[in-house]
A and B are shown apart, each in its own frame.
Chain A
Amino acid sequence: MKEELEKLFGEALGNLKVAGEESQVTQVRTEFLGRKGKITALLRGLANVSPEQRPIVGRLANEIKLSLEEKIRESLASIQARKMKERLFHEKLDITLPGRRVPTGRKHPISEVCDEVIEIFLGLGFQISEGPEVESDYYNFEALNIPKDHPARDMHDTFYISDEVLLRTHTSPVQIRLMEKQEPPIQIIAPGKVFRCDSDVSHTPMFHQVEGLMVGDNITFGDLKGILTIFLHEMFGAKTKVRFRPSFFPFTEPSAEVDIACVMCQGNGCRVCSSSGWMEILGAGMVDPEVFRIVGYNPNEVVGFAFGLGIERIAMLKYGISDIRLFFENDMRFLGQF
């Protein structure tokens, strides 16, 4: 019986070896280990084996059954693995075909840059304030220490709705509106659209500014330099050279123009910066005491600074755009690049 068992085992292993399909493997299981299988049938005759041989044959039979089961499982696993490998091999994609792109839109570059500016000032503790785009002469000029018939009005080509109502020429009126209804300390920026009647490669009749105002009892010109230097370094890189030079705005004194080293030529002088190596980037100054008086603050007690910057100008420098009008044509070929 021992010999017969080993013979059947050998036969089963032989069948397994040639089995290429899962069905052929399960066939082996049925043929040898099934209820009517050959090994099963043989073992029914175990009763006829002598009692001293019985445990030995029994153990052998068990080992053979377990070993065969194991071989069958291995065989099945190897067939499955081979088949999966074959299947995966045939499922190969052309991975160079373009993906299924669900197109996304873009922010307008003006918003993009404006958000960047806002983000920097929010980080410095500034809050956002806003005001109307159509303003009164009072808020746009008079309250900012620009009386009627003042030559400083030449600095603004103004669109008028009536003698007293106009399109704001700068975001500075927001300063006045805010100070009229809020006591210091104040620390705000005011982004928005402004308008001037001017139109060429470097001027559009509408553009965007961000106004800044910080008022308290202990704020200095040095602080103005500090805040704006931080901003410009964040915006244009920490190595950007910054300079402050005297200028004039009726609502600040001392007033400053702030220049950065030309981003095109790194300060060596080129056509963009008219060989000066510098580019004007924003206007700023200490709030004029007259403005404080107008809004009802005590000019002897409060000090503060204000600044204003043009978003288009920054965007043009950042992206190397030479024609400001592109921003308002909204040509997808332009907008799609941001």
Chain B
Amino acid sequence: MRTENVSKIYGRTAAVRKISLTLEPGRFYVLRGENGAGKSTLLRMIAGLNEPTEGSIHIFGTPNKEALHQVGYMAHAPLLYDELDGLENLRFFAQLYGIAGDELLIQAMTRVGLDAKLSRRVGQYSQGMRQRLSLARAIFHSPRLLLLDEPFSNVDPDSALQIAKLLAAMRTGGNTILLVTHQIGLLTNLADEYILLSHGELVERGDMPGLEEQGLQEHGAQRPEARK
């Protein structure tokens, strides 16, 4: 994935300013920054939901909008229909990707720790269950690039750790992951690199181990092993 001088300007406010970024395949990146730093906007532009005001975005060598079938996107909102149950939701979205049959969907639900037989409608799910189902929606088609915006919010610590490990396994399987989170402590041993944004600009980029101590101190987070 490559962005070249990507900017997003709303009226007189620049949400993202001239960000040039290259993500290598099979690596796990954490996108950090204060609230309003432009993390979600950048993610939305990569996913093709927002058009950059200037600059270009390429995924696996093609313009991002032509590579949508290779991208999985998880947003703040769950992107699910409340009136359908979990499997029905996934079934609908799978059909948009040309996927027939439930096998991949059940597999995705199992991977995020949800029971595919659960007939409860999503409107009756807890926030954490919605978040997991939303992740299942983002990964059922085995995307090569996974864009995740705050996947650990509203999720209990054990589930968050489970999701983090799932993502690390996906990275090992060759997927590229770009994840926005404030819970950096969960990923110190799992992610490869961090990218720091501030006021819409890319200010720092480095390997995760270098961030470990800083992250633990800044956010008061615990190492996954030290959780118990």
B partners with A: no
